[in-house]
Amino acid sequence: MEYRNLNELKSFNELANSGKCQVKTLLTKERVAKCSIPAGGTLTYNYAAMPVSDEQVKLLQALSDEDELVAKYRAVLSGEMMNPGEKRLVLHQLTRGNCLGTAVSADGEDKGEFYASQLARIREFSEKVRSGEIKGSTGKPFDTVCQIGIGGSDLGPRALYLALAEYINNSPVKHLNAKFISNVDPDDAAAVIGTIDPETTLFVLVSKSGTTLETLTNQMLVTSSLKGVDPAKHLVAVTSKTSPLASSKDVLDAFFIDDYIGGRYSSTSAVGGVILSVALGYETFEELLAGAHEADMNALETDVTKNAALMDALIGMYLRNVYGYPSTAILPYSQALSRFPAHLQQLDMESNGKHVNRFGEPVDYVTGPVIFGEPGTNGQHSFYQLLHQGTDIVPLQFIGFKNSQAGKDIVIEGSTSQVKLNANLAAQIVAFALGKDDANPNKQFDGERPSSLIHADRLTPKALGALLSHFENKVMFQGFLWNLNSFDQEGVQLGKVLAKKVLKGCEGDEVLKAYADLLI
């Protein structure tokens, strides 16, 4: 298996010279039906409004084959060292099932068995909390769980919880409220603390090392405000086996993660598992894992027309490196996914926001795009003006569901709110693609704004798991295409180092001190 830069691949250069297609010319009702790919977990990915012809799909297939993209994914799954910067395995897919059926060993243990053992412990613990067998220090059952963590310890789990809260509210499953504290800004913690009852709140402290400054600062801020309770009976840790938290008397229990799962890929590990299982029930989390595993299996397909994540990755690379589009908008037409774009910002931009390849050599082509987004239809009344008529073309990724989670709706002027929502979604795809001619230049819409659509009947735990995995695998495949290491994040370290320097008095750095003096 060979790792080469994108512009060294013969098939990429053929693709780049293949000529650009017009969405207006390609888009027909037949194409909408033809360009659908099952993505696992009841999801379907549709690329009909993307500027790729049948001939270019063949070129994308040739590129996938030449760059051995699926073989590289299989190498990830088999436990090869795929994070060269930190010389680590990459095992987040293993937290939701073994795709290849072969054991993966590291640190003297079977990692599949290790992750399964943590799931079993999470199940037992969450069921005891939810049943009231495990209570707070004053004897009251827990009705709230609050996660303290930052980055991937917050963004993914928070997005998943919010995505399923209303689903659980409209099911027989018991729902414990979930809260999140992430920002070292004390106002973040204070705002959350002001809404909870310490006697009935369980805190989940997430820190792999057990030494993360922001997280431990928030822990101390929280525990210092817990009056009338024993903090040790209200706090569990998600950490590594070797961290100080693993055997601390200051926590009720500890659940383990390891160095082979990066924070932004950790939602299906104990990082997301503890809070989601306590708040929404272990069975809900189990369904989410099943959906993610289905999407992981789908990503093994070598035929790009049957592999949704791979096709999404290839088309995204094509728009970035041939068309030169610098950003991508994630537009979920589901209020439940309100924080999902924020999670994808970290997932994509922390993974593929790199300027050197996996060997540390500068690349001479653009890599990861800027990711942003908001739920529809709110975004239509915010930034869609630029998307429709601005000077930059922004590729769009729509997400939609035929039915709402709540099932509570009203008919106004012959249609329900959900039908109105999806009417807007369908209209936006066509408006962006085809535009509108008008003699008034101010009302002229050029169209040719490309988009894809990921859709399902309803946003269920299984669909959500598949959605999560789809984007994780898309980002992974794009990292392979750009010959990057998508699994480290050196870009977040420099600021941390300098922040510590400020806290030590700036150590003679005059420019740093000048800015610190403005703020401290």
| Catalytic residue positions, numbered | 350, 381, 496
* CA dihedral over 79, 85, 86, 87, signed as positive or negative: positive
CA 159 from centre of chain:
8
Cα–Cα distances in Å, from 406 out to 132, 168, 460? 27, 9, 11
Amino acid code (one letter) for 68: E
Is the distance from CB of 466 to CB of 294 less than 8 angstroms? yes
Residue with tokens 């194409």: 31
Helical (H) or strand (E) element with 46: strand 43-46
Is the distance from CB of 272 to CB of 157 less than 8 angstroms? yes
Ordered alpha helix ranges (H), 147-232: 155-169, 186-193, 213-224
Burial of 356 (0-12, 13-18, 19+ CB in 10 A): middle
Closest CA to 262 of 169, 379, 348: 348
Pull the structure tokens for residue 493. Answer: 């370290």
Cis peptide upstream of residue 377 (ω within 30 degrees of 0)? yes
Is the distance from CB of 483 to CB of 357 less than 8 angstroms? yes
Amino acid code (one letter) for 489: Q
Closest CA to 512 of 490, 503, 212, 186: 503
Is the distance from CB of 228 to CB of 199 less than 8 angstroms? yes
Measured CA to CA, the distance from residue 86 to residue 504 in angstroms comes to 28
Residue with tokens 């806290």: 503
Measured CA to CA, the distance from residue 314 to residue 70 in angstroms comes to 12
Half-sphere exposure of 420 (CA within 13 A, CB side): 10
Measured CA to CA, the distance from residue 451 to residue 429 in angstroms comes to 7
Residue with tokens 């509108």: 436
Is the distance from CB of 152 to CB of 214 less than 8 angstroms? no
Pull the structure tokens for residue 1. Answer: 């298996």
